[in-house]
Amino acid sequence: MELFSDISLSWVIGFIIAGFIAGYIDSIAGGGGMIQVPVLLFSGISPIHVLASNKIASVFGVLMATIKYALSKKISWKVVSIAIIPCLVASYIGSSLVMYLSDEVIKWAILVAIPIAMIFLFKKSKKIQEEKIELNKKNIILSTAPIGFYDGLLGPGTGTYMTISMKKFLRLDYLVSTASTKPLNFATNLGSAIAFIMAGKVLWLVAIPMGLANVAGSYVGSHYAIKGGEEFIKKVLIFVLIFMLIANIVKIALS
């Protein structure tokens, strides 16, 4: 059965599996795009349609994660309310600038960003509860907006980096950091998705099944994140960062 000239039903099943795994990982530690994008590219879909369809699927999944974390009352809405507009603006600026960068610069920028995140992750910090910290507006914007810019500019691992940033600079625990990242990531993804929809770049028969699978994976992943707490999330963060580092090294070596 052919859905497009080069996309078979077997590939769509692969997209569904990848969407579920990506949703699971993304709801806990971010980085789901590092799973979905390669699978879409391997199917032979053009890069611009890959980015567009991946964003649509990610919007579905991160919305589910946002709802799940909101119902569990783990989101710091003070952080979200302050950061959401700066993240949107920063993401838009990043998307506007990325067209001026070469593929080589983009690949190396992503590769450099991963070990930096790992350094922050492994650097010891005091475990300070959210309610004991005065969340300064300036600190909130500085710890989130640059990552919103990164999401528009490059994208992969945005949720991972934002979770680590909130942990290190706002001193939220990993569960609250992960939960608070989701509505911000939803906003930046939504802005990008709207642009792709208006440009007619979304392959809906790819994006919708992958997006629904992403929702299912996100539901399961956020459940285990809430249940497993900080140590579980940190382990998944480490796995995602190592996976992203290896994937990008292999990608550069093969290019």
User: How far, in Å, CA of 1 to CA of 150, rounded?
Assistant: 39
Sequence ranges of the domains in the chain:
2-254
pTM, two decimal places: 0.77
pLDDT band at 15 (very low <50, low <70, confident <90, very high): very high
Instruction: Please name the residues in contact with 194: beta carbons below 8 A apart, sequence gap of 6 or more.
Output: none
pLDDT band at 214 (very low <50, low <70, confident <90, very high): very high
pLDDT digits (tens, 9 = 90+) for 120-165: 656 654 444 444 556 789 999 999 999 988 887 777 678 888 988 8
pLDDT digits (tens, 9 = 90+) for 98-111: 667 776 676 677 66
Residues 137, 153, 25, 165: is their CA dihedral positive or negative?
A: negative
User: How far, in Å, CA of 118 to CA of 233, rounded?
Assistant: 14
Going by their DSSP bridges, the two strands 2-4 and 7-8 should be labelled as antiparallel
Are residues 135 and 83 in contact, defined by beta-carbon separation less than 8 angstroms? no
**Token output for 208:** 């919708």
- The residues pairing with 4 across neighbouring beta strands, listed in sequence order, are 7
Q: How many CB atoms lie within 10 A of CB 107?
A: 16
